[in-house]
Structure formats: C-alpha cells, structure tokens
Amino acid sequence: MLVLCLPSMDGLRLHSSSPLPDHRRLRAGVSRRILAVRASASAPRRETDPKNRVVVTGMGLVSVFGNDVETYYEKLLQGESGIGLIDRFDASKLPTRFAGQIRGFSSEGYIDGKNDRRMDDCLRYCLVSGKKALENAGLGVGSEALSKIDKARAGVLVGTGMGGLSVFSDGVQALIEKGHRKITPFFIPYSITNMAAIIPSGVGGFIACRALSQRNDDPKTASRPWDKDRDGFVMGEGAGVLVLESLEHAMKRDASIIAEYLGGAVNCDAYHMTDPRADGLGVSSCIQKCLEGAGVAPEEVNYINAHATSTIVGDLAEVNAIKQVFKDPSGIKMNATKSMIGHCLGAAGGLEAIATVKAITTGWLHPSINQFNPEPSVEFDIVANEKQQHEVNVAISNSFGFGGHNSVVVFAPFSA
C-alpha cells in the first residue's frame, strides 16, 4: 500500500539551497497539500465500517480427499494426488479413463434416507458441504444460533456450471426408450444445479472439446499446470461452501472469524466458445476491477491461487494476464490446487477459495505438483512440488470458464 506522509504546515520544510519568500513558501505548501489530497483520493482504500466489512466465519466441503476441511488441506500440503482411474462406470472405451472421482461418500447425518436415494450426487455434495459450513460457523441446522438468524436477510448463492447430469442423462434415456411417462418427477428440480458428478456424458463431452488429458498410463501426474508437457485438464468433482457475513453481525453473535473477504469481480470477454484470449485482457481487467473494489493495491498481493487447469493455451493466457497487473513476479507466490484434485468445474471456485483461506490461516502454501519441465515464461514462484511456508498479506483466487467468463475474489487475514 502506498502511504504518503505529509507534515503539518507548521512543520513543512522545502529542500532548497536558499530560503523562499513567505508567500512562495505558503503557495508551495498549499500545492503539496493539494497533491496529497489528490493522491489519497486515488489510492486504494479498504472498507472500515463493520456494517460493510465481510468476513469468513465457516467453511465446508466435499472433496476427493473427504468431507473435512482440515484433512483436505493437509492432503494438499502433502502434495497428494487425488486422481485415479474411473470405476463408477465402464470407461474402458474412452480416450480419457481417469478423473478426480470421489469414493466412499456418505451423507449420513446430513440428508434423510429417502432424499439421499433420489438425489443426484451434485445435490448431495452441495447439501453436505453447505451444512458442514454452517456447523463450522456455529450455525448448525436445528441450533439455537441458527434460529436467531433473520432469514429474510440471509441467502444462499451457489456457483454453477451445469445441471445434475446423472438425472438429466437418465431422463433423456427414459424418454427415448420408454416415453415421457417414465421420466422421474424429479427430473427438473434435480437437474438444475451444478454438475459435480463424474458420469459418461460429462467426460465424453469434454473429450469432444479436446480439453481433457489422455495420460491414462499415469493418471496421478496428468494434471500438470504450467508444465511444458501438459496435455489437458483432469475432471474432478466435489463442492465447497463458505459462510460470509458482515463483521458487525459476526461480532454481535460472537462468531469465530477465520479471514476477511475483501471483494470480488466478474466479467465476460466473449472472446471464443472455449479458448481464452491469448493476451489475457479479460482476465487482467477482472483482476484489476476486483482489486480496485476491494481497496487493494497490486503491491499488497503476495499470493495467487491460480485457475491453472493444465490446458495448453489456458495456463499461459492466465499468466500473461497476471503479469499485466503485477509487474514484479518476484514478490508473489502462486500455486495450482487443480494439480491434485482436478478441475471441479463449477465447484472449483469454492474448493480453491477454501484452500486460499487455509493458506492465510496456516501460513503454509500447498505445492503445485507434477512440475517436471516448467514453462520458462511463467516467472512466478509456483511452489513447485513441495509446500512452502509463507505469510500471506493479501491473496486472490482466480476462476474462469468457457465463453470468456472470468471471476476473481480477494481474501486477507482478519484484523480488527
């Protein structure tokens, strides 16, 4: 942050070889004060009003490493890959036969048996992670604390990429083979949330886009962001939810504050159906808009949780954009959560936001694994293969999507 310190008029001294007349000294002093006002008006300013400051008070997830935030981040710090061969369906005839598939998932205690059997996996993941986030925030379902919340002023916002494709796929098959009467009545409500399940149509669709890695002989090293030999992204699944509330509200209910959410931004450059702009203009402008809204100067940011999917053009386009905003790569560390859990599509933002917040609270950055032959143009410290201790000042987390959709959020340690 740029801090411009000016003495009062009584203490003002001008560097000059000879004293100035009183009127010139006064004029010079006034001019400098005007410059100071202009500079302070243009410098970033963070929100100070507790009514408008936003803090993170809870986090919950479902991931390839289980349903516990602490376990999830510990696995990331260890550099463990959650990628393996698909066994949920027969993938033997597909060019890509691996993914970040969740195994052994249980919703016991969070979803009643009847709904658990009916729901698409994506809804099950979302509900469990959401309820766990509420518990972490001291607002567990059925608790006295939750009953005191003004429900008219609370809401749920879930980032989505596609609907529940298992229900959708089964519904289409039933329509073709048996007619409309055999479509489940839950076809619409269970297929309008995000795609988090690894299913044939999802994998096949991205294969058709030529976006997936085909490193079937070594799935655990297939997701290798910024590596010269990367050949596409790896699909993953899961959900991540954060509880956000005003600082004033959190303090009134004596909530435990994890970190501060300083702001975010979204835009769409509509450059191409799938490819990003090579110059990264849409991304760089989104980052700049995010920082401006958050009252953060680029020089304050020292950690980036990158989108970094492991696609050939996408990785470098993001780096080009980041370089436009942050002129000195030496002051920033950057890592890729997707190197271990794959690309969880609409769920990626939530899972990576949790990793970003954990980096802030633990002082440790997880590695970007599978860095064998790094791209020299990246220049940033990408925390290659081994975790690093790092005191985070301000962190951003990037998430992008097909069609030029860009999203950036910014977090910082909480300080009263």
The type of residue at 358 is K
Specify the pLDDT at position 336. Answer: 98
Q: How confident is the model at residue 180 (pLDDT cuts 50, 70, 90)?
A: low
pTM: 0.83
Per-residue pLDDT at 278: 76
Question: What's the mean pLDDT in 40-69?
Answer: 89
The average pLDDT across 225-246 equals 96
Least confident of 15-24, 154-163, 405-414: 15-24
Amino acid at 120: D
In three-state secondary structure terms, 98 is strand
Amino acid at 215: R
d(CA 102, CA 219): 15
Residue-level pLDDT at 160: 65
Q: What is the pLDDT of residue 41?
A: 43
Buried b (16+ CB within 10 A) or exposed e, 67-79: bebeebbbbbbeb
Domains of the chain, start order: 57-221 (3.40.47.10), 264-412 (3.40.47.10)
Query: Is a pLDDT exceeding 70 seen at residue 118?
Result: yes
Residues of the chain with pLDDT > 90: what percent? 64
State residue 356's pLDDT score.
Answer: 98
Tell me phi and psi for residue 36, to 5 degrees: -65, -45
Nearest Cα neighbor of 65 from 45, 49, 80, 85 is 80
Closest-CA residue to 158 (of 311, 396, 376, 353): 353
Q: What mean pLDDT is reported for the chain?
A: 85
Reported as a single tens digit per residue, the pLDDT across 119-137 is: 878 888 989 999 999 999 9
How far apart (Å, rounded) are the C-alpha atoms in residues 150 and 133? 18
d(C-alpha 407, C-alpha 40), whole Å: 28
| CB of 341 closer than 8 Å to CB of 73 | no
**Two structure tokens written together for 305:** 């949780």
Q: Between β-strands 333-335 and 301-305, what pairing exists: parallel, antiparallel or unpaired?
A: parallel
345 pLDDT band, cuts 50/70/90, is: confident
What's the CA gap between 412 and 221, in Å, rounded?
A: 31
Comparing 45-49, 69-73, 402-406, the range with the smallest average pLDDT is 402-406
User: Phi and psi (nearest 5°) for 409?
Assistant: -125, 155
Assign 27 a pLDDT band (cuts: 50, 70, 90): very low
Q: What is the pLDDT of residues 312-337, one digit of tens each?
A: 989 999 999 999 999 998 899 999 99
Quote the CA–CA distance of 144 and 334 in Å, as a whole number. Answer: 41
Q: Residue 34: which pLDDT band, with cuts at 50, 70 and 90?
A: very low
Confidence band of 14 (pLDDT split at 50, 70, 90): very low
Q: What is the dihedral sign for C-alpha 9, 13, 14, 18? A: positive
Rounded distance between C-alpha atoms, residue 90 and residue 7, angstroms: 74
> Which pLDDT band holds residue 19 (cuts at 50, 70, 90)?
very low
